[in-house]
Amino acid sequence: MTIITNYKLFDDGWRFEKILWEESIKNDPWIDKEMHGFFREIDCINAVLRNMHKKKIYSTNYSDLLEKLEKSNDYMHLDTVAWVYKDNGDKNKAIIIYKERVLPAVKKEGGDIQKYEKYLVEISK
């Protein structure tokens, strides 16, 4: 049985849990929809931070997750990092991450550069 790390939003904020993967899918529709297929810790961290960004509700220890995710070289992970910085009042750091890490990685990997350039404009507002 696989054990995975889970962060769940409760009334009093985000809490960390270790859960049994197979059991969690049965009991938590968000995990089934958003987390299914993630086996690497870094992908789980990205999903958790992305969900915090979407809800604009951050755990008190989100910076611990952010520190781990910022070590990634995956431009989709770095996109999440930039948005989390922007949401939490550090727009300048978000812009730097975008210019120095996200856009070069997108270009190198042949991603949709126009899409990420638009995101940079949004982050810069």
| pLDDT of amino acid 66 | 95
The predicted model scores a pTM of 0.72
The percentage of residues in the chain with a pLDDT greater than 90, rounded to a whole number, is 50
Beta bridge partners of 15: 8
pLDDT tens per residue, range 47-96: 889 988 998 988 888 898 999 999 999 999 999 999 999 999 999 999 99
Q: How far is CA 41 from CA 31, 122, 124, in A?
A: 14, 28, 30
- DSSP of 22-66: HHHHHH-HHIIIIITT--SHHHHHHHHHHHHHHHT---TTHHHHH
| pLDDT of amino acid 15 | 60
For tokens 């996109």, the residue is 79
For tokens 């890490």, the residue is 101
| pLDDT of amino acid 8 | 64
| pLDDT of amino acid 21 | 45
pLDDT tens per residue, range 14-28: 565 554 444 444 555
**Mean pLDDT, the chain, whole residue set:** 80
